[in-house]
């Protein structure tokens, strides 16, 4: 299950693990104008852990999810 919310300065996606075993904490993804953050609560540390990705990293991650093993470089797309 997931939810999508639009805030003033970000789009927020929350992923909920609904499996039956080895459940993980919810993952919150916030998309800003210049970056994307991924946050998940770590019960061992008793605090949320956040990583920040540039928009280029997000594009590469999205492409990587559909590619076989290997090393790749995305071509730049010219706008205008």
Asked if residue 48 lies in contact with residue 40, where contact means CB atoms within 8 angstroms, the answer is yes
Residue 41 has pLDDT above 90, yes or no: yes
Kindly state the average pLDDT of the residues 43-69: 93
pLDDT value at residue 80: 65
Compute, in degrees rounded to 10, the torsion defined by CA atoms 24, 31, 63, 80: 170
Categorize the per-residue pLDDT at 37 as very low, low, confident or very high, splitting at 50, 70 and 90: very high
Domain ranges, ordered by start, for the chain: 2-64
For residues 73 and 60, what is the distance between their CA atoms, to the nearest angstrom? 8
Looking at the DSSP bridge assignments, the partners of residue 52 are 37
Structure tokens at 62: 């999205």
């Amino acid at each position: 299950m997931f939810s999508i919310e639009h805030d003033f300065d970000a789009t927020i996606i929350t992923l909920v693990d609904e499996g039956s075993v080895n459940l993980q904490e919810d993952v919150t993804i916030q998309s800003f104008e210049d970056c994307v953050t991924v946050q998940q609560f770590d019960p061992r540390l008793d605090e949320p852990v956040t990583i920040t990705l540039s928009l280029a990293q997000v594009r590469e991650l999205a492409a990587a999810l559909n590619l076989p093993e290997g090393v790749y470089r995305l071509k730049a797309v010219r706008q205008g």
